[in-house]
């Protein structure tokens, strides 16, 4: 296998004691980059194996979407022999990742203190809902964090109920933060031969992920409110109706707005003192919106998309998921890749990062429960491995 096929994390052993979404998403990203990820599951398997529909060949597509590139072993930590094998795996691993309740693995000798005592250079990542302090007893589910973080208060129509985002956005965000933390800790280990404990929690990921809203509160004392699809600081930056369907228009600076007006055939609008600068447009959005909509209703969304993008105005139709993949294909992003080969290959979404020298690899399809249990048990029992 050539160097370009190995991935930049080739040779790295990851013991994955996580389940559901945040942890498995993080370890899938590491597997894509060449890490050897051993997915440790309980006797009944990862919860997401049962989260269906939809399914592919009887397997949950939720599970398939976040578990490629891994090998599975089923271990029951309540059984002394299985717990021992888990400890052997953790001792050999470069990285251990888990999302049990804080302290939940201590009774099996799989907590950070126990693992690092046997494996001082280990990078041990813990993902929780609300941290390992006062929030340690609170289970962490994305929907809960969307609620308590304030995100739901920002999502929905101004006069309607609060809504969750359409995906488990903070699970994914925490998974990304975990991967970043692991890679940073590995860099430190390379320089010092010293491991460390990396902690990520969903609420902290949520608060940093609220970006401008968090800053508006922390730095400006402003508590934001629901505005539907409108942006509090930029206009136009929202869906606007066309002849057939809404089009997202994001003319976020003065140059983009002027080009928008040129394409719409109303160039003088850009010189109107009410609309000359972004702060003016935002303040007078209710006066500006009907002027833009009057022109946008003359053509369909896709026709405007081509015209406006050619002029350098960011915009996009509101697609369903199939349309999103179709647009990625149109742009040459090749969004779908097969994980594994032959009859076992599973179509999955391409790793989001492109490398010029060490591209992502998709060696293994998402594993069946304990698919690699026999070979991994033999390897774990081999004292010379």
| Helix H or strand E segment including 38 | strand 36-41
Contacts of 338 (CB under 8 A, 6+ apart): 345, 346, 347, 348, 362
For residue 72, report the phi and psi dihedrals to the nearest 5 degrees: -110, 135
Torsion of CA 291, 297, 300, 302, to 10 degrees: 10
DSSP, res 352: S
Q: What CA–CA distance (Å, rounded) separates 41 from 264?
A: 57
Q: Is 136 left (phi over 0), alpha (psi -120 to 50) or beta?
A: alpha
Q: What CA–CA distance (Å, rounded) separates 260 from 255?
A: 9
β-strands 36-41, 55-56: how paired? unpaired
Catalytic residue among 157, 171, 280, 310: 171
Decide if 171 is catalytic. Answer: yes
Instruction: Tell me which residues are annotated as active site.
Output: 171
């Amino acid at each position: 296998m050539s160097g370009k096929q190995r991935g930049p994390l080739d040779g790295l052993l990851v013991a994955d004691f996580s389940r559901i979404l945040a942890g498995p998403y993080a370890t899938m990203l590491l597997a894509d980059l060449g890490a050897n990820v051993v997915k440790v599951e309980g006797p009944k398997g990862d919860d997401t194996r049962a989260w269906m529909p939809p399914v592919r060949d009887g397997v949950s597509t939720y599970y398939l979407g976040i578990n490629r590139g891994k090998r599975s072993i089923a271990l029951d930590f309540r059984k002394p022999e299985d717990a021992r094998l888990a400890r052997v795996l953790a001792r050999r691993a470069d990285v251990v990742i888990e999302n049990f309740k804080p302290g939940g693995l201590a009774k099996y000798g799989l907590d950070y203190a126990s693992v690092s005592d046997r494996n001082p250079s280990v990078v041990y990542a813990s993902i929780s809902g609300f941290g390992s302090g006062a929030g340690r007893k609170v289970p962490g589910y994305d929907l809960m964090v969307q609620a308590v973080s304030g995100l739901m208060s920002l999502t929905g129509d101004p006069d309607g109920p609060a809504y969750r985002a359409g995906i488990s956005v903070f699970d994914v965000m925490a998974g990304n933060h975990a991967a970043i933390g692991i890679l940073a800790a590995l860099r430190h280990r390379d320089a010092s031969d010293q491991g460390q404990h990396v902690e990520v929690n969903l609420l902290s990921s949520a608060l940093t992920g609220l970006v401008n809203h968090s800053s508006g509160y922390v730095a400006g004392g402003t508590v934001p409110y629901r505005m539907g699809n409108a942006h509090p600081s930029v206009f136009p930056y929202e869906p606007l109706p066309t002849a057939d369907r809404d089009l997202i228009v994001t003319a976020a600076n003065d140059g983009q707005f002027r080009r928008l007006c040129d394409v719409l055939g109303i160039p003088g609008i850009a010189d109107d003192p009410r609309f000359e600068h972004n702060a003016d447009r935002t303040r007078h959005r209710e006066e500006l919106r009907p002027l833009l909509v009057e022109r946008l209703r003359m053509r369909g969304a896709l026709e405007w998309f081509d015209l406006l993008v050619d002029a350098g105005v960011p915009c996009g139709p509101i697609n369903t998921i199939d349309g999103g993949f179709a647009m990625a294909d149109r742009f040459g992003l090749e969004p779908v890749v097969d994980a594994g080969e032959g009859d076992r290959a599973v179509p999955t979404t391409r790793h989001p990062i492109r490398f010029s020298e060490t591209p992502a690899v998709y060696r293994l399809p998402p594993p069946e429960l304990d698919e690699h249990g026999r070979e991994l048990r033999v390897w774990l029992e081999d004292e010379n491995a």
